[in-house]
A and B are shown apart, each in its own frame.
Chain A
Amino acid sequence: MSVSADPSASTSSLISGPVTLVVPAVAAMVRVGRLTASSVASIADLSIDDIDDIKIAVSEMITLLIQSDNRSSITLRFEVDAQSFTVEASTPSSALDLGRNDVALATAVLDAVSDRHEVAHVDDRILMKMVKTISPRPES
């Protein structure tokens, strides 16, 4: 497992550059990805409700990739700006094949907890992306 942050990439007021996490494609890593997402979102000062939604979305994305029958590693990339929190999850694959997943149920959940999500086959990887618009925080 590895974690990195790219200080040269886009910035928000609290996090400079995306955070990248690479984990083995095994069930135990779903929790690792979820807790990392939660930590990054918390540092970015998102609301509890937004963080809960992001945790669910990340869990769904990692689970879909683990069960895609292309088990090797999963790369997660978290990026935050003033308006949105974006998560990309990808795994090496020769085709866009989500294998033995119940995609309909996972998609219904992703629909509910994200503002936008998509899946594509790019550069021999299955790439999933979700965007969560950050809810305005009440002024203190």
Chain B
Amino acid sequence: MEEIGKNESIRVWIDADGAVVAVGDIDLAGGPLLDTAILRLEGSTPVVIDLEAVEFIDSSGLRSLLAASRRADARGTTVVLRKPSAGVLRLLSITGTTEQFQFEGVAP
């Protein structure tokens, strides 16, 4: 595991499988740490982001995910959201951005 960092909003690390794991709130304070972790992993393979323990996300956090998706698209790969919490799924739905991502661990 590689600890990326933590602050008052969020804790972010890269797990043994090479997935970014975020725990807490992805907002104006939490988004930059998530950006750091995602940029650390970006290559030719899909970036997997575990969002099961994300308690809150707003458009600041969504911007981090969308930017990662755009960069992945430019590289011909994708961003995979693993077990996104209900809050994450709702924000994706109301902003019409669900299609920008692939998903793991989401009930059909």
Q: Given A28-B7, A109-B94, are A102 and B58 neighbors across the interface (CB < 8 Å)?
A: no
Q: How many residues of B contact A (CB 8 A)?
A: 18
Q: Per a CB cutoff under 8 Å, which of B25, B27, B87, B95 touches A109? A: B95
Chain A interface mostly helix, strand, loop or mixed? Answer: helix
Contact between A108 and B95, CB atoms less than 8 A apart: yes
B89 at the interface (CB under 8 A from A): no
Segment of A39-47, A59-67, A132-140 in the binding face: A59-67
Contact between A28 and B91, CB atoms less than 8 A apart: no
B41 at the interface (CB under 8 A from A): no
Contact between A55 and B56, CB atoms less than 8 A apart: yes
Contact between B59 and A109, CB atoms less than 8 A apart: yes
Task: Collect the chain B residues with CB atoms within 8 Å of residue A34's CB.
Answer: 25, 27, 56
Report, as a range, how many residues of chain A touch the other chain.
20 to 34
Chain B residues 76 to 108 lying within 8 A of chain A, measured CB to CB, are: 87, 91, 94-96
Chain B interface mostly helix, strand, loop or mixed? Answer: mixed
B17 at the interface (CB under 8 A from A): no
A97 at the interface (CB under 8 A from B): no
A1 at the interface (CB under 8 A from B): no
Contact between B28 and A63, CB atoms less than 8 A apart: yes
Residue positions of B touching A, CB distance < 8 A: 7-9, 25, 27-29, 56, 58-60, 62-63, 87, 91, 94-96
The chain B residue sitting closest to A107, CB to CB, is B59
Chain A residues 33 to 80 lying within 8 A of chain B, measured CB to CB, are: 34, 52, 55-56, 59-60, 62-63, 66-67
Contact between A109 and B63, CB atoms less than 8 A apart: no
The chain A residue sitting closest to B93, CB to CB, is A112
9 A-B pairs with the lowest CB-CB distances in the bound complex, closest first:
A112-B94, A27-B29, A59-B58, A27-B28, A105-B59, A63-B28, A106-B59, A30-B28, A109-B59
Q: Given A63-B27, A102-B63, are A109 and B8 neighbors across the interface (CB < 8 Å)?
A: no
The chain A residue sitting closest to B94, CB to CB, is A112
Contact between B95 and A31, CB atoms less than 8 A apart: no
How close is A53's CB to chain B, nearest CB, in angstroms?
10
